[in-house]
Structure 1
Amino acid sequence: MFDYILLDCITNIKGERTISGIYHLLDGKRSSQSLQDAHAYQLTNYFGILKGFSREDLHRALNRLEDNGWIERYEEVAVVTPMGNVQVQKMRNTYEPIHFRGLTLSSTIPLFTKRLFLYIQTVTNMHLGKNDFLPVEDDLETTEWVRNLYRTRKGNLQHHVRALYHELADLLRSMPEAEAEVFTYRLTGSGFIGLTTGQLAVRFGMDAVDVHLLLHHVCYRIYFTVKEGRDRYPSLALFTIDEQPHILVTNSAKRTYELLQEGFEPEQIGQIRRLKMSTVQDHLVEIALVVPSFEISDYVTNEAIEQIAATADTLDTNRLKDINAALQQRYDYFQIRMVLAHQQNQAKVGESYE
């Protein structure tokens, strides 16, 4: 799966971003540039799905793709070869549909997973009268959440455990065998200990990164299926989380947005928060990417919006340097980024109504 995702990223980016840019996108770097890249190249689903993975993992995969003749590398840039284009289409038939929604759920799914895994361990042990088990999660917030849910269900524990089992079994039967098996062997309960990522990699003959992705992917599948069918999966629906309508990647951008809504100008916000103007501008770009009602004409003239948008469409590029050069430096990079961000946001809104 990792090879496919990497090929898909390289295909969409078309040599316009460096390998480091791809790494930051997959790792979910909390920056306006990574966020804008995710939108610009239609890679929002992959944003942050490999948090904490190493650059060594990335370069091993790139070497593998290069050895297979699927990509070529030019210093810090990778491009897909004709052979790679054929391969990515074959892989697409295998892996699509991809259920990742990294940009909006890269924090939600890990929380959902931690709650579910710890709760399964808790109820299976408590059902058999074992209360001295070593929890798979020691996160205080997750532990407290699981403890509270258990208290509300322990009066009818046998029925609850049976219902949870049948709902999970029903979901896993509908999924690819590899994903269902990786998920099942990861679970810890009464009398059995879930395998680590490394142990799963050995058992299934896969790379550890692929194990992580498969496990992560099945959790996305479960989450979406349960969210869409709460009546069918009432026990699992207890673990779902209400998402925010607009997801600002950086907490700092959230604070800037709050001040904008209170009527402060960007220059005032910079003074209040002791931020460089370039940082405030990064926040404005991030806001333009995710808030449909955000009005960019307060920062870019209508004439500039039309010319920048038309030039980007004509050149079919998101490369700021190329757009800036084509417009003979009439507009600065901030103005160009704002227009591109607005376009990407509006395109996303349009897709949601199709």
Structure 2
Amino acid sequence: MDQDLIMFFLSAEQPRRIKVIENTLIQRRTVSTLFWGMRYQINDFMGLSPKLNSINTNHELVKLIQAGLVTKNDDSHYRLTSLGTARIHTHQPYFSSSTGLSANANYNLLQFRKRWLLALQITSEYSYRNQHYYPMLIGNRDDSFIKQWFHHFKNHGLVNEIKRGLNHFLSQLPNDLAWQFVKRLNGHSMTGMTLLQQSAVLKRTTGSLLIDEWYLFDNLIIFLLNHQSQYPACYDLLMGTHRDQVSNSARQTYQFFLQNNHLKLIANYRKLRLSTVKEHLLEVAILDFKTHAVFKQMFDRNTWQLLGNLYHGNLDNWQFDRIKQQRPDFDYFYFRMYQILRSNQDG
């Protein structure tokens, strides 16, 4: 991560672990990563940087600390200084990590982005009747999808639809973001700029431009969802990119839990370890707040009251040892579940 990308995911108020941020971006979906991603409000960014270089991140962190932009709380937690906060607001005026990427939570943004870029390139060349060009390579599966998509829509006003849809979307953007978006596109006699090339022109870091791009494509997905009847070919590019935040296996475990909340029985029936069943249920609770009323029923009134008496204040600072002193046999699973439920309740 470059410096702006690191600072974008840090906070002045909440000490944060860089490892959680990295694991989120590379999509290492452990329960710990999901829990702290929820606390940092960054789970919407899951999987957006699969080739992240953690060695480079450590070097940049040292520079940020030396420049007085970031402070180190302990061996693993970092915070923005007031100087760092001012800098990230200057370098990233439109977006913040706390606003999230709602479309990426439900659609594979990177997959859609590749499809969009290839679809526009092919349509642009088609509009000039040019058959001699090198199309982008986006992977066999999506290459085949775009080929079928193009043959289906090319004789149904495709060129005009994409022109109208693109202009409509761009008209809703600030001029500088519209410029960035257009300059990433490949078309007839037009090669899209890399982030490095845009960085040189705009005198901005590639990290801040990458953040802009995430939000631009997130907004484009939302735009197409809201205008699918106007731009059906463009909307069709989303086909097959939808995803459930909760894994299929965790969702299946939850369905069994709804029928029978005895965890050992669920583990036996699903042929899973008990620890895996617990991880599945924690994952569901973290990613689907609508399930919280169900999970709260796991706690009897006395236990819920005891936990409420023991734990208050900043949820990030709660320690499992506190309940263990009162109830030595208390299961960590219930402590973490209580944290999740209170996180939604308390904010």
What interval of TM-score do these two structures reach, taking the shorter chain for normalisation? 0.7 to 0.9
Q: Residue 190 of structure 2 aligns with which residue?
A: 192
Q: Residue 53 of structure 1 aligns with which residue?
A: 52
**TM alignment of 1:25-40, pairs within 5 A:** 25-40=24-39
Q: Residue 10 of structure 1 aligns with which residue?
A: 10
SS at 1:133 equivalent: coil
Q: Does 1:334 align with 2:327?
A: no
Q: Per-residue displacement from partner, 1:124-169 (whole Å, max 9, x unpaired)?
A: 223333335333134233223222322222224xx42133123212
Q: Distance in 1 between matches of 2:117 and 2:34?
A: 30
Q: Residue 278 of structure 2 aligns with which residue?
A: 281
Question: 4+ residue runs of structure 1 moved beyond 6 angstroms?
Answer: 242-245
Worse overlay, 192-201 or 23-32: 192-201
SS at 2:51 equivalent: coil
Pair 1:132–1:245, CA change in 2 (3 A): closer
Quick one: which amino acid aligns to residue 150 of structure 2?
Y
Q: Residue 78 of structure 1 aligns with which residue?
A: 78
1:3–1:65 Cα contact (<8 Å) kept:
yes
Pair 1:100–1:10, CA change in 2 (3 A): closer
Q: Per-residue displacement from partner, 1:266-317 (whole Å, max 9, x unpaired)?
A: 32443455543222211111112233135224543333234335544x2312
Match of 2:314 among 304, 316, 324: 316
Question: Normalized against structure 2, the TM-score is what?
Answer: 0.81
Q: Distance in 1 between matches of 2:261 and 2:314?
A: 36
SS at 2:316 equivalent: coil
Quick one: which amino acid aligns to residue 273 of structure 2?
K
Superposition CA RMSD, Å: 3.5
What is the percentage of aligned positions where both structures have the same residue?
Answer: 18
Pair 1:6–1:155, CA change in 2 (3 A): same
Q: Residue 302 of structure 2 aligns with which residue?
A: 303
Match of 1:164 among 162, 165, 169: 162
Question: Normalized against structure 1, the TM-score is what?
Answer: 0.79
1:46–1:103 Cα contact (<8 Å) kept:
no
Pair 1:258–1:137, CA change in 2 (3 A): farther
**TM alignment of 1:223-234, pairs within 5 A:** 223-230=221-228, 233-234=231-232
Q: Distance in 2 between matches of 1:329 and 1:86?
A: 45
Q: Distance in 1 between matches of 2:239 and 2:232?
A: 14
**TM alignment of 1:85-96, pairs within 5 A:** 85=85, 87=87, 90-91=89-90, 94-96=93-95
2:5–2:211 Cα contact (<8 Å) kept:
no
1:44–1:103 Cα contact (<8 Å) kept:
no
Pair 1:128–1:347, CA change in 2 (3 A): farther
Quick one: which amino acid aligns to residue 256 of structure 1?
T
Q: Residue 351 of structure 1 aligns with which residue?
A: none
